Chains A and B, each alone.
Chain A
Amino acid sequence: MKKKLTYLLLSVLILISCLVLAQMSTSNSYMNGLNLEATYEVGSDIVLKFSKVAGESPLIYLTSSYGSTVLSPEEKDNEIWYRLPSNISDKIGVVRWKCLSEGDELTGKFTLEPINTVASLETYIGPPSIEAGGTDYTMMVVIPTDSLDNPLPQNTLVNVQHQFLEVEESEEVATKHLIAFQNLYSKRESGRMLVSSSCLGEDSKEFSINVAAAIPVDFSISAHRPHHYADGNQITTFSTSIIRDKHDNVVSDGTYVNFLIANADGNTLSSSGTTLSGIATAKMIHPEKAETWRVTAMIDGIAESNSVVLDYEQVIEDFELTFSDHNRALTVGPLQSFMGQMIPDGLQVKLFIYKDDQLLEIIPKTSVEGYVIFYLEEDIYKNGDYRFQIQAAGMDKKIDNIKLW
């Protein structure tokens, strides 16, 4: 029994040492590259071939910009082939390889070069809108790529064309660090710039850039009104001249213009308008009393207009007050306009009621067909003496000691 065990142990030992020997013998051998070149074209079927040596064929370690991998060998006749996977052979750049055998380190590198035909032009442009005047610009970036999406070699020429108004220009730009770029400066005029690029016979699509007017410069305004009376009803329209920038471009539609009106009391009224083809209009309702308006328009902080002075003539020179029904009904009117016609409905008349010099109430009312009637309810205003003040169309009328009964 013991003998058997000893034999067994011995034979096992022999087997192990044989295996070790076999291993050592492979590591001593070396391979020779057969078809190794310094450059390849991307996308081609790349096989690294080595001469066959005794023993096991080693694995090969590859590293490229895409990543690293280990390839197992294929044995063909007396050669060992390593076939590059497409994810590595499709990307340009340097590929380094190394045989994974102990001892002699067999290493090498090769470069994958792009196919020199353009399959697509990756193009970016921005910003899509710039200001006229020659200082603002947009940048066009073109990346010509081959059919495997690899950028073309440095210094590939890219043609950048653009059209603006009457001008069509074309310029050659060489790629650098894989891209070609060009700054396109605006001209003095506003308008639309169309841009495209081409490279090695391949053309990009069309891109458009909006060249908008620069900031506006001073302008002038005018006023139109149906009449010059302060009737509190008609509307005066203010309009600007065509607002332009310093290069004579009409400002963009929608530009906001403030119209400020300094009135006789020194207060500021305001209206506004937005431009359409450079002209902004604003409206203002006529005052209810005689007024002098000084109108100025401005684009905040940027441009302003001349001042226009408008005079509004008083229409209601005087009005009558009539008490009736135990003095409880107070009729104001007729309120007559400039030709003697009844003032249009809506003129505001305010009644101030005082008793013993105490203001009891202010009642605002609007005129209907030239008259305003206030009714003083018996239940609110007890019998007694009152003082009234009536304000209408900028006029003040006071009535003392009216007895309600």
Chain B
Amino acid sequence: MKEITNKYLIAALLLGLVFHGSAIFFTLESTYDALIHLFFADHYANSWFEPWNYEWYTGFSVMSYPPLVHQSIGILSLIGGLKFGMFAVAIIAILLFITGVYRFALLMTSNKTVAGYAALLAVFSSSFVETLHIFGQLPSIIGISVLMHSLPEIYLWLKTGKLWYLATSLSLIAVTVTSHHVTPIFGMVFFIFPLIGMVIMDVSRDQVSSMKEVTFKVFLNSFLKLFKRIVSFGMLSLVLIIGCILPYWINSKANPITQVPIPHGSRDNFLEILSSGLVFFLIPWGVLLILLPYIFYRYYSKRYLFFGLSITILTVLGTGGTTPIPLKVLGETAFNILTLDRFTLWASIMSLPILGEFAYRFVEGDLKELIQSKFGAIYHRIIGGVLAGLFVFMFIFTMSLGYFRPSQPQKIKMLPIVNFLNQDDHDKWRFLTLGFGDQMAWLSAQTNAMTVDGNYHSARRLPELTTRPIERLENSKFKGVAGIGSLQQFLTTPEKYNLKYIFSNDKFYDPILYFCGWQRLRQLENGIMVWERLNIPPVSSILPKDKIPQWLKLHWGIIPFLTVLIAFILNIQMLLVNALKTRIKALPDFLKYPLPYNKFSSGVLKITHIWSFFLAALVCYGIYLLYLKNDSQRSPENAVISYYDALDFKEFNKAYQLIHPASNLSIAQYMLEVSVTDGLLSSYAKMNAIETEITNYNDSTAFAKVITEWITPLENIEKIDYRKLSRLNGKWYLHPEDLNSDLPPDQLYSDNVTKYYNQGRRRITTEQTHHEDVLKQPVLEVVSAKLVKYDGHYAIIGHVQNIDNVPADVILKGTLYNDENKELATYNAKYHVKHKLMPKESSSFRINFEGIAWSKTEDSIPDTFNPDEFTPVEFEEQPTKFNLQVAGNVSGSDLYKNMVLSEIQVGTESVSGVIFNSGIQEITIPQLLITYYDKDQNMVWVDHLFVKAGIRQQRKQAFDYKILDGGAVEVINDDMKNIFVNGLPNEAIAKKIVQNRIEDHMKSHLIKVNDPYFGYIKIEMNSYIGSPN
């Protein structure tokens, strides 16, 4: 028999290469995972044998992920750079996948044409497209592809017992193991076990004359006959799974994943969270969903019985939290660690041979004849068109997902950041990125500077990170309270991590940065804002690392590549023979069981029809529901919700469309009105929940009480609006809100301010601290300080003044001790202080002692977001003493002081008033610091209020502050002995500069309140200017 080249396979390979090979250049870099692999590759390219990486998470071991793919990219990067390496490996992955599917399909169906169809369809299968172009899971793809390559070899070993096949199959298993650890473990269960079952079936079939005669007895006999081979293969592959990545297993034992599970969409209930259902169920299955009856019918035939069981389990596990089964099957731990989308991926890949078979039978086989004879040729053509159309649609839809719903922020030019870090020793400190998405990995790959964050959450080490369900600090705004809480901790005590620079690509974080004491340095040319924090020591030049034995390092560096080399040598001969057809080869054993494809079961056809109609109906209903939900003017609720959604996403044109036409508001006027409102709520808030209560509703008018919940970086805001709606021509419209008509007195006015500029280095020199350029630290004085306990938590409160002649950035660090002078807790002042003080300006302060929130896993994490959430440290012993370290540094930024308290009314439970902006900058977020005094005018507590709206120049803004009702404050210690300013004792400073302090001044600020516990309050003002001009 002459060997013929399989045209379909060639076509599949060419198409796959042309299509995916060019598409990856537009998709891969914006996938979730690709850049992480690139970072690891960069590590190997620079230090092949040293597994310790200092750049992320204050150091972690790369032995926490199988190295093959990373090392391959690393090796290739030496030729043409990291990205070249990544794309080259991606192209290899594409080739491996297509050929792998071909070989798997050939093994399953014993028919080269069918296998060719399968390979061709695999190129465009939505699950592959999604895994490659949206998730970017290169190791996973290579793992499953090599596994598919190994399946025929395993079959042949089990069937023939030739040791050669044992060697080839094991060599391929080894490659799978070193490229992805999860694939061979589960692949063993879901692909190899059913394959063993199939081999036994085939052996049994050989002993009897027809498949029907294969009884359990025959099956058992064959099983016993093959037992030795099965066990030997099983044991040897187990040895490989453990041995090839032994350092990985040792590392995971040494650093067990003891972290709070990170929520993953694949564990959601797909019916509740439709987006997860789309991404993790609908897309990977794609057109296969229509063929499910056929797939199950085929896999439950006797020969494939075990594959039937396997695919059933995979399908069910892939449904995530939709059904309770996966949770029960996998158990709590595995369910929360594994991402369940891989099961769906494997199920869809397992279905590919059957899809190929179906296509073959539909296009040129018995199904075509059956349909044509039953329904006519035209029907066959229409159905063919519909199926092909659906297939293409799913493909295009999947490819375009990344375009319409980008999973990553816009591509950021890294060069300016890399240059910044290399400048002036900036890489001597750690940095943090905000709003970079997975591109932070690409930044890390390009610089030697270290970050406290990282992008491989299994390797996190700091308890501040592992105890929270967040992947990265970087995208903490999407992770609710836990995310912002974690971030706040890093921002408040950055000296603990030597964190000095923050690159912010998301304005959302600006207020929290400002109020935690950070200052803007400058905007880089790529639009990234650099924030810095003063008084941070550089990273020490010797950093701790986990000691890893030499042999493990050698193992990790050598074995993975060796497996590829061995697999290549062992399999190249077969490959060449197959590809070049140099000689006629005996038909492999698995080609001896072809199915005749002469009679398609009409029952299956019927069921497939019914199933398809059912699916179609479901889809139509879904679309109808979507229409009802999205028709913005169908009901008052819809109108309100779409209006607030539009405002949330800043789609002002869309919002304007919902404003009642009779209100005679032009779009220009509307935009003007919207654009003049700035502040925490309108510029830094993300709507979290919206609830509407339609209070009065008749045919033409409705009143809605709109309760909106907004997430801001500083706190949670609940807002209640009352909106009037009217119906016009069947559509509901909102009436515009009244505007504040406040008119400032001056058209043009002037203001004189003192501005400061710090030269930094006056001379261009790389000398680290040229001593003439070092400014004196401004002298601060702690006027009063005491340790108090209020409402269950301890705090150090007090009053600090800049008594120098230059503006100061103030950092306060408090430490609590017990009677035995044992240190109990230490923390910095967060936003209960004015971090920037002009000469002689003073500020009240409060230092909270925050613990690591939810550090105990049994503490349930609240679902609702509250960045203001506060977790006090749990003290084992009673704090009785405190130490306060104050550091001043000259700072010339954020010194806007033109906030005026212009009206005040003291009520029974609250204090309300008006703030007036008398300067020439627009105040984005006004903050009030409220200091409480007891009846004897002793300072007892400090609280704050963020005013929700900004204040434009020469305008007023009302506020309303509720007086605290947590009972009396207990003053524990007011001894001011252990207070140090810039390392010097506070007492000496107090004596030297302000010798005769006028104590009465404090009293003249006080406002009397009517409260059982507090006698007076003092209001100080601080402001965040979003865009200084």
Contacts and interface: CB of A to CB of B under 8 A. Distances in A.
B1007 interface: yes
B956 A285 contact: yes
B904 A345 contact: no
B771 interface: yes
B745 interface: yes
A26 interface: no
B783 interface: yes
Interface residues of A, number: 61
Contact of B740 (A260, A265, A366): A366
Interface in A219-254: 233-235, 251-254
Interface stretch (A4-12, A30-38, A180-188, A300-308): A300-308
A397 B192 CA distance: 88
Interface in B734-770: 738, 740-743, 745-746, 752-754, 756
B839 A284 contact: no
B741 A269 contact: no
Contact of B997 (A124, A263, A301): A301
Given A256-B841, A272-B897, A300-B841, A233 B743 contact: yes
Interface in B881-917: 895, 897-906, 916
A263 B806 CA distance: 33
Contact of A300 (B772, B905, B1001, B1019): B1001
A92 B994 CA distance: 48
Interface stretch (B35-43, B650-658, B693-701): B693-701
B741 A283 contact: no
Contacts of B491: none
Contacts of A39: none
Given A128-B776, A267-B1007, A284-B902, A274 B753 contact: yes
Interface in B473-525: none
Contacts of B998: 298, 301-304
A133 to B, nearest CB: 10
Contacts of A296: 1004
Nearest to A125: B772
A212 interface: yes
A335 interface: no
B997 A379 contact: no
Contact of B806 (A216, A235, A252): A252
A177 interface: no
Contacts of B1007: 267-268
B740 A346 contact: yes
Contacts of B806: 129, 252, 254
A165 to B, nearest CB: 18
Contacts of B1002: 300-301
A345 B741 contact: yes
Contacts of B906: 267
Most buried by B among A299, A300, A379: A300
A365 B994 contact: no
Nearest to B753: A274
Nearest to B801: A300
A298 B742 CA distance: 31
Given A128-B775, A212-B805, A346-B743, A269 B839 contact: no
A276 interface: yes
Contacts of A128: 772, 774-776
A340 interface: no
Interface residues of B, number: 65
Contacts of B701: 379
Given A283-B918, A366-B741, A270 B901 contact: yes
Contacts of B842: 300-301
A271 B840 CA distance: 15
Contact of B900 (A212, A265, A284, A302): A284
- Most B C-beta atoms less than 10 A away, residue of A234, A235, A365: A235
Contacts of B742: 345-346, 366
Nearest to A214: B993
A339 interface: no
Contact of A235 (B695, B745, B756, B1021): B745
A377 B702 CA distance: 11
A306 B905 CA distance: 26
Instruction: Determine which residue in B698, B902, B906, B998 has the highest number of CB atoms from chain A within 10 A of its CB, and name it.
Output: B902
A284 B742 CA distance: 16
A268 B1019 CA distance: 9
B606 interface: no
Given A129-B776, A256-B897, A269-B902, A301 B783 contact: yes
B695 A252 contact: no
A124 B771 contact: yes
Given A274-B754, A301-B998, A344-B745, A285 B902 contact: yes
11 contacts: A127-B776, A235-B745, A256-B838, A268-B1007, A269-B904, A270-B901, A272-B897, A346-B956, A379-B696, A379-B701, A379-B702
Q: What 4 pairs across the A-B complex have the smallest Cβ distances?
A: A346-B742, A379-B696, A256-B841, A252-B805
Interface of B: 695-696, 698, 701-703, 724, 738, 740-743, 745-746, 752-754, 756, 771-772, 774-776, 783, 801, 803, 805-807, 837-842, 895, 897-906, 916, 918, 954, 956, 958, 993-994, 997-999, 1001-1002, 1004-1008, 1019, 1021
